[in-house]
Structure 1
Amino acid sequence: MDCAAFKLRFGIIGTNFISDWLLDGAAEDPRFEVTAIYSRSQDTANAFAAKHNIPYTFVSLKKMASSPLIDAVYIASPTALHSEQAILFMKYGKHVLCEKPSASNVRELNLMIEASRKYDVVFMEAMKSTLMPGFGIVLQHLPEIGTVRRYFASYCQYSSRYDKLKAGEVMNAFKPELSNGAMMDLGIYAIYPLVVLWGRPFKVSAVGTLLSTGVDGQGAVNLDYEAKSATILYSKIADSSLPSEIQGEDGSIVIDKIQSPDRILLKHRNGMPQDISVAGRKNEYYYEVKEFIDLVQSGSRESSVNSHMNSLIALEIIDEVRRQLGVVYPADKN
């Protein structure tokens, strides 16, 4: 089928900046068409629809899920709502692209995966970085650094919402009832590529700082694999400009930003650094949309990179980190 002739009609759940960013990237794929927006508020839905030239608005999730106006949905609501919303849309035969983290915990994610198989629809976690060309270049050049011994990733970005928390105002980013916190927001960007590379670790050790709301503000995680290990740093209460790195016996690969790999350096142990960055990439959100539409168009039901298993293992690790730190969500008690 001609890619230009194929259109996948999307509904959007969530009217925040992440939906804006996704739509900017999706516009670069001619097969993407946004036809509907959901919000609890009609005024908010109207404003977002006008901003992005979206023809239909909904204030009922069930009405949008059952509507013949959409083929797929992009879910960018708070994490605590992902599972229920995704399963609802899958029941009505809609394909689901779900913002990361895909769910509050492994239990919820298993229900989502079961629904995707039962209703024969695509379900994919919208982890952009592992589908970007920079990560593909890392995979391509990995054999050149010899036996790999260590993965190090850092994503520490001070949040203005933390200033508001210190002033007594609790924003969504730090609310346990929404299944939020630094690991869910930033740490997952360091964990997911590791899982794509090495799979499930046999040991996870975590330390961190809890905030007054009970969620994590930052953390450090060590993960043990056979003959190699990984260290992850993440924070919403401190800044860092540290790059990430995969270290091997013959050299290393240095990644500027694990959450959006652009500048990639290959450093041979006995040679000059080589810039292996990809030139002229598209919008960073384009690649997850392309992968998702490719799956729908081809009849496949699961990404080979952002696979159900990789998403499950990532959440297994996050669940264990939260257990060790003492971060508990209401969703864990259901």
Structure 2
Amino acid sequence: MATNGKIRFGVVGTNFITDWVIAGARQDERFELTAVYSRTQETADAFAARHHIPYTFTSLEEMAKSPWVDAIYIASPNFLHASQSILCMQYGKHVLCEKPFASNAREVREMIEASRRYNVTLMEAMKPTLTPNFRAVRDNLHKLGTVRRYFSSYCQYSSRYDKFKEGIVLNAFKPELSNGAMMDIGIYTLYPMIVLFGRPKQVEATGVVLSSGADGQGAVNLVYDGMNATILYSKIANSSLPTEIQGEEGNITLDRINIISRVTYMPRIPAEAGKSPVAEPEDISAPTDKNEYYYEVAEFIDLIQAGKRESEINSHENSLITLEVIDEVRRQLGVVYPADR
């Protein structure tokens, strides 16, 4: 760790998501960006110039060995997440890995074991669950009394689907990269549910599998004791539906599950004879002046500085349960990745 109290980061992946994460991370004064890995020197140099990064690497192992790096943020294609995370942890680097954590639950278990073996911090970069607005949901959940239903929808027509219909299969719809609608955006509807309510007892999935073998959309019903959950996700159609948690004493609504901008609580007003109950929604959103990506990096740095291997919210267990559920959804839909073999 740097002597000035900063955590020196290397990044894997030079796409727009890495740009966004860096912008949020730089709002934390403990973050220092020192290295970038890319397969080509040209790409590494261009990215380094744009973000003022002093060290570039075309070998991930060399970056993992570097004395100028304490932690590594991984935003490579999904099928590389596990192997790259484990390589970095072998050299004592803390790892913040983009969602989905890995291709499947088996890989997640291997990542968790590496975190334990090498005694380093490992966390999934699932940003919504670490934001103040998700904390507002958690803090107000008790107002609902007995929770009876969780519903979440994230359906966003992909510009890459237009190419797909033209016969050009881009990365978003390639099973060999462990990609598809659930892995890309469906996970946003699933992970918060698991953080709030834990492992479901039953999973039933239906969906549309495209000719490439990747899922285009899906609907999943999940069963808990005394509670039902339904998640909808799609990369081949749009939806404006919010996320809602329904309880016997009221309900909480989140405007968007991937970027939670507004959270409202609606109490249940008991009906009186001859009168229709009227309730006013209460805005319970948490004000913030931070970039949405700030919070996942701040949480990760907090863990490193506290000597903790995992987050209590984006925990190893929550990440594992999420991939176990996704594995079962894929099994029911017939979606198979090369990484499964």
TM-score tier (shorter): over 0.9
Secondary structure of 1:184's partner?
A: helix
Write the letter of the residue equivalent to 1:25: G
- Aligned partner of 1:152 in structure 2 is 151
1:265-300 CA-partner distances (Å, limit 9, x unpaired): 101122211011112341110000000000001111
Distance (whole Å) between structure 2 residues aligned to residue 4 and residue 156 of structure 1 = 45
Does 1:331 pair with 2:330?
Answer: no
Residue 122 (structure 1) aligns with: 121
- Stretches of structure 2 that go unaligned for 5 or more consecutive residues are 270-278
C-alpha distance in 2 between matches for 1:27 and 1:224: 41
Query: Match of 1:87?
Result: 86
In structure 2, what is the Cα distance between the partners aligned to 1:230 and 1:163? 31
Separation (CA, whole Å) in 2 of partners of 1:297 and 1:280: 24
* Shift in Å, 1:250: 1.1
> Any conservation in 2 of the 1:133–1:281 contact (CA below 8 Å)?
no
Query: For each residue in 1:108-156, what CA deviation from the matched residue of structure 2 results, as whole angstroms up to 9, or x when unmatched?
Result: 1110000000000000000001000110000111111111100000000
The yes-or-no answer on 1:283 pairing with 2:291 is yes
**Partner in structure 1 of residue 276 of structure 2:** none
Contact 1:4 1:30 in 2 (8 A): no
* CA distance in 1 between partners of 2:239 and 2:289 (Å): 25
Written as runs of structure 1 = structure 2, the 5 A alignment for 1:2-41 is: 5-41=4-40
Residue 185 of structure 1: aligned partner: 184
Cα shift at 1:4: 11
Contact 1:11 1:37 in 2 (8 A): yes
Change (3 A) 1:179 1:136: same
Which residue number in structure 2 is paired with residue 137 of structure 1?
A: 136
Which residue of structure 2 aligns with residue 199 of structure 1? Answer: 198
- Asked whether 1:49 is paired with 2:48, we answer yes
Q: Does 1:106 align with 2:105?
A: yes
Q: Kindly tell me: are residues 192 and 281 of structure 1, through their superposed partners in 2, closer, same or farther at Cα, counting changes over 3 Å? A: farther
Q: TM-score, length-normalised on structure 2?
A: 0.96
Higher Cα radius of gyration: 2
Say which is worse superposed, 114-123 or 4-13, in terms of deviation.
Answer: 4-13
C-alpha contact (below 8 Å) 1:265/1:275 kept by paired residues? yes
In the alignment, structure 1 segments of 5+ residues that lack a partner are none
For these two proteins, the number of residue pairs brought into alignment is: 331
The 5 A counterparts of 1:240-251 are: 240-251=239-250
Report SS of the residue matched to 1:114: helix
Q: How does 1:163-174 map to 2 (within 5 A)?
A: 163-174=162-173
Contact kept, 8 Å, 2:176 with 2:338, in 1: the verdict is: yes
Counterpart residue type for residue 178 of structure 1: L
Q: Is 1:309 equivalent to 2:308 in the alignment?
A: no
The alignment partner of 2:313 has SS state of coil
Does the 8 Å CA contact 2:132/2:288 hold for their aligned counterparts? no
Q: Counterparts of 1:267 and 1:34 in 2: how far apart (Å)?
A: 43
Query: Please, what TM-score do these two structures have when normalized by structure 1?
Result: 0.98
For the 8 Å contact 1:105–1:319, the answer to whether it is kept is yes
2:272 aligned partner: none
Give the superposition deviation at 1:57.
0.5
**Paired-residue identity, %:** 66
Give, in angstroms, the shift of residue 219 of structure 1: 0.2
Moved segments of 4+, more than 3 Å:
none
Opposite residue 265 of structure 2, the aligned amino acid is L
